[in-house]
Structure 1
Amino acid sequence: MTERELEILALLKQDPLIPQQELADRLGISRSAVAGHIMNLTNKGVIRGKGYILAEAKYAMVIGGANMDILGRPASSLRVGDSNPGSVSCSPGGVGRNIAENLARLGSDTRLMTAVGKDAYGQQIVEHCQRAGIDMKPSLQLSDGVTSTYLSVLDGDSDMHVAINDMAILERLGVEQLKSQQEMLKRASLAIIDANLSEAALAYLLSNFADIPLFVDTVSCAKAEKIKPYLGAVHTLKPNLKEAEQLSGISIANYGELPVLANWFHEQGVKRVFLSLGIDGVFYSDGEEQAHIPAIPVEMVNANGAGDAFLAGLAHGFMQGWSTRQSTEFAMAAAVVALSDLATINPNMSEISVNRVIKESLC
């Protein structure tokens, strides 16, 4: 779907009986343009019948953090301990939220359960997510909470030098809130969980919903430890090499030993594992097939968000019924799209743009 179609779909989810003129006024386009987009959505099977009845579709449930990302980028090489000329930008972020937006922009029906404050940053995040086509109804917006912020500083090579996060509000997304959404969770085609959640929330999710495919983003070495007791419930796990070595207690000497590491996770019950190797690509294993796929060359603009785009690509591929290999190649291309823009989420993220990267990489 195009970005405009995603915006229209988001408004229709909020009010299926909204008049076309009101849609046009809210989007700043003509009524005839709205009618054209409505026709396209109808032809695609997304809308059916009168009253803009939305077709029953598979959906992904994402549970995790939402932040306002504050990004500092030096104009040249970073001088530590000094004031650096450069640029500072703000954009909605957070692992769970980033995955959800990428997934929605790829065309998958996506619902997000997170917690934000009823402050300027929180309202900006909610409105941005809704425009991107994310269903925000499961999320908490708290009048007595402060929206999470994530402050990162890039080095002269556009890679992250240091970051600080303030995510205290996510502790408010507890077991009781999760229980209130359990029917929506049970009906999901898959659930994506980020390890920023509290230990209690992770324990509840991984102990009660193993009958649906659970995709887990380990986030960091420290936070990955919280999921170790529940690996048997994980369908798809996406750690980097350091996180995988820490979780397993296995240190590898070279990439030829990656199958040993992957097999350890299968022995714990993980169905699919995707080991991120940075500039060296990805090693995947689904219990039947294992392969190391080299990275696609890219001129990196911002390293933040590439892993989130990768996991969104994996989830999108799973919902499309693609093979593990095809899903991995698609996810790696989605990461390239993410790396190519200064914003945490590339506004041009779409299935079309990802497939273009795949096509160009084959030339």
Structure 2
Amino acid sequence: MTDLSKKEQLYALIRSNPFISQQELATSLGLSRSAVAGHIAGLIRERRLLGRAYVLPDSRPVLCLGAANLDRKMRTLATLQMGTSNPVRSTEVFGGVGRNIAENLARLGLPVALLTALGDDAAGHALQTHAEEAGIDMRGSLHLANTGSGTYTAVLDEQGEMLLAMANMQLYEQLTPAFLHSRQPQRAQAALTVCDLNLPHDSVAALLDEARQADGHAAPLVIVGVSQPKMAHLPQDLAGLQLLILNRGELETRVARALPTQADVHLACREVLRQGVRQLIVTIGGGGVLFTDGEGADAAIAHLPALAVNPVDVTGAGDAFSAAVCWSLYHDSHDLKLACRRGLKLAAMTLESSATVSPLISASVLVELDNAAAAPSPILYQQD
């Protein structure tokens, strides 16, 4: 048998078990340890393996950092009346921006891991079990004794639009820079890192510092907004950040002013780009999405309209959008036009579902979208 066929057999064994030892490989193939080491070195030079952990390029996960909550949704059965009791229909589901993005990515067929904080209560155990059954690697998450898991309570009107939400998420303050450092071996294996702004300011700053120091040689970093109050967790200097995803309200908080017109939104996008982020997406609800066509402060800003939907529940639509964008970055580099088209599709599916993560989402949905007639070309604004 030739050395080439031995090398391919060795590669096949590693594909089936990336944690196999060199001695096990040598025994299985009838080779010496030194011969196995030589083949592995060759595969690393060819970029078919990534380092000593035998991480295959197509098995590197998307690493999500952020919240995993028990979400309570209460939908009024009639127009809300303040100062009195209102009849509602209530449900409890698994949520949290980081967790929602991770579950959407798992449904899209990507390897995905989630670093979050869980309490030692029934909700924490249920969140862990559900995530693992969905295909999310939870091994690096933080388990806190004598602590309740995060909760998010949303009040929706009779059309499913959010009227008010209340978040109990203090436990995520434990996702400190020291915690991130303790998970460095796991984080180093990521193909893409996605962070929601439930992480404390110092931890987000640490991730940005790492990205700047890596100077493009590490996994790209994506930061996703959570709410207007949580924008305080986003440092001013965004250098090193590949992509920032915000909604209109979060953008208003970032620039500290109201943005009543599309021209105002456009100018605010330009201001955020000057803070150092390479790419920016701003979702504007029924108005669609703005995104950078190119990278850096001088990139053009383009627009795609939202898809027509009959909304059932708005919860999770933005997270599905962000997941589709991340799926696209994982596969197609930094083409935000394509990424936003996919994101709008998954957001529409989620809006038409009563579930926070639509059970109909799969990679085939995006493949079918790509094979359909081309979407309208984006409108390019004149650069300032």
Q: TM-score band, normalised by the shorter chain?
A: 0.7 to 0.9
Q: Tell me the residue number matched to 2:323.
A: 312
Report deviation, 1:295: 0.4
The match for 1:282 among 273, 285, 289 is 289
Q: Tell me the residue number matched to 1:224.
A: 231
In the alignment, the residues of structure 2 paired with residue 362 and residue 265 of structure 1 have an alpha-carbon distance, to the nearest angstrom, of 27
Report deviation, 1:347: 1.8
Q: Tell me the residue number matched to 1:35.
A: none
Q: Tell me the residue number matched to 1:85.
A: 87
Q: Tell me the residue number matched to 1:116.
A: 118
Question: Is the CA contact 1:312–1:331 (under 8 Å) kept in the aligned structure 2?
Answer: yes
CA gap 1:362/1:325 in 2 versus in 1, 3 angstroms = closer
Please tell me the residue identity of whatever aligns with 2:199.
L
Please tell me the residue identity of whatever aligns with 1:205.
L
CA gap 1:55/1:277 in 2 versus in 1, 3 angstroms = closer
Q: Tell me the residue number matched to 2:222.
A: 215
The match for 1:125 among 124, 127, 149 is 127
Q: For 1:291, what is the secondary structure of its paired residue?
A: strand
Q: Tell me the residue number matched to 2:204.
A: 202
Report deviation, 1:362: 6.5
Question: Is the CA contact 1:207–1:230 (under 8 Å) kept in the aligned structure 2?
Answer: no
Q: For 2:302, what is the secondary structure of its paired residue?
A: strand
Q: Kindly, what percent of the aligned residue pairs are identical?
A: 31
Report deviation, 1:117: 1.2
Q: For 1:228, what is the secondary structure of its paired residue?
A: coil
In the alignment, the residues of structure 2 paired with residue 252 and residue 87 of structure 1 have an alpha-carbon distance, to the nearest angstrom, of 34
Instruction: Name the structure where helix makes up a greater proportion of residues.
Output: 1
Q: Is residue 327 of structure 1 aligned with residue 349 of structure 2?
A: no
Q: Which moved more, 1:62-71 or 1:84-93?
A: 84-93
Q: Is residue 262 of structure 1 aligned with residue 269 of structure 2?
A: yes
Question: Is the CA contact 1:68–1:92 (under 8 Å) kept in the aligned structure 2?
Answer: yes
Q: Which moved more, 1:121-130 or 1:200-209?
A: 200-209
Report deviation, 1:107: 1.3
Question: Is the CA contact 2:315–2:356 (under 8 Å) kept in the aligned structure 1?
Answer: yes
Question: Is the CA contact 1:77–1:157 (under 8 Å) kept in the aligned structure 2?
Answer: no
Show CA shifts across 1:169-189 (max 9, x none): 112222222111112222311
Q: For 1:122, what is the secondary structure of its paired residue?
A: helix
Q: Tell me the residue number matched to 1:342.
A: 354
Q: Which moved more, 1:177-186 or 1:274-283?
A: 177-186
Q: Which moved more, 1:223-232 or 1:275-284?
A: 223-232
In the alignment, the residues of structure 1 paired with residue 257 and residue 304 of structure 2 have an alpha-carbon distance, to the nearest angstrom, of 22
Q: Tell me the residue number matched to 1:300.
A: 311
Please tell me the residue identity of whatever aligns with 2:138.
M
Q: Is residue 103 of structure 1 aligned with residue 105 of structure 2?
A: yes
Show CA shifts across 1:21-77 (max 9, x none): xxxxxxxxxxxxxxxxxxxxxxxxxxxxxxxx9985131111101110011112233
Higher relative contact order (CA 8 A, sep 6+): 1
Please tell me the residue identity of whatever aligns with 2:238.
L
Q: Tell me the residue number matched to 1:179.
A: 181
In the alignment, the residues of structure 2 paired with residue 186 and residue 226 of structure 1 have an alpha-carbon distance, to the nearest angstrom, of 23
Q: Tell me the residue number matched to 1:5.
A: none
CA gap 1:193/1:209 in 2 versus in 1, 3 angstroms = same
Q: Tell me the residue number matched to 1:33.
A: none
What is the aligned residue count?
A: 315
Question: Is the CA contact 1:152–1:163 (under 8 Å) kept in the aligned structure 2?
Answer: yes
In the alignment, the residues of structure 1 paired with residue 258 and residue 150 of structure 2 have an alpha-carbon distance, to the nearest angstrom, of 34
Q: Is residue 244 of structure 1 aligned with residue 247 of structure 2?
A: no
Q: For 1:165, what is the secondary structure of its paired residue?
A: strand
Q: Tell me the residue number matched to 1:38.
A: none
Question: Is the CA contact 2:201–2:232 (under 8 Å) kept in the aligned structure 1?
Answer: no
CA gap 1:319/1:173 in 2 versus in 1, 3 angstroms = same
Report deviation, 1:232: 1.4
Q: For 1:317, what is the secondary structure of its paired residue?
A: helix
Question: Is the CA contact 2:74–2:91 (under 8 Å) kept in the aligned structure 1?
Answer: yes
In the alignment, the residues of structure 2 paired with residue 280 and residue 353 of structure 1 have an alpha-carbon distance, to the nearest angstrom, of 23
Report deviation, 1:220: 1.8
CA gap 1:290/1:114 in 2 versus in 1, 3 angstroms = same
Please tell me the residue identity of whatever aligns with 1:92.
F
Report deviation, 1:209: 3.3
Q: TM-score, normalised by structure 2?
A: 0.75
Q: Which moved more, 1:171-180 or 1:72-81?
A: 72-81
What is the RMSD computed on CA atoms of the aligned residues?
A: 2.6
Q: TM-score, normalised by structure 1?
A: 0.80
Show CA shifts across 1:76-133 (max 9, x none): 3333333333321111101111111111111111100001112110111111111111
CA gap 1:153/1:267 in 2 versus in 1, 3 angstroms = same
Question: Is the CA contact 1:58–1:319 (under 8 Å) kept in the aligned structure 2?
Answer: no
CA gap 1:189/1:298 in 2 versus in 1, 3 angstroms = same
The match for 1:188 among 187, 190, 211 is 190
Please tell me the residue identity of whatever aligns with 1:218.
G
The match for 2:365 among 346, 353, 356 is 353
Q: Tell me the residue number matched to 2:41.
A: none
Please tell me the residue identity of whatever aligns with 2:145.
S
The match for 1:273 among 258, 268, 280 is 280
Show CA shifts across 1:242-270 (max 9, x none): 32233235655532454433222222211
Q: For 1:191, what is the secondary structure of its paired residue?
A: strand
Residue segments in structure 1 that go unaligned for 5+ positions in a row:
1-11, 17-52
Q: Which moved more, 1:126-135 or 1:169-178?
A: 169-178
Please tell me the residue identity of whatever aligns with 2:76.
P
Report deviation, 1:240: 1.5
CA gap 1:62/1:283 in 2 versus in 1, 3 angstroms = same
Q: Tell me the residue number matched to 2:38.
A: none
In the alignment, the residues of structure 2 paired with residue 247 and residue 203 of structure 1 have an alpha-carbon distance, to the nearest angstrom, of 16
Please tell me the residue identity of whatever aligns with 2:208.
L
Q: For 1:229, what is the secondary structure of its paired residue?
A: coil
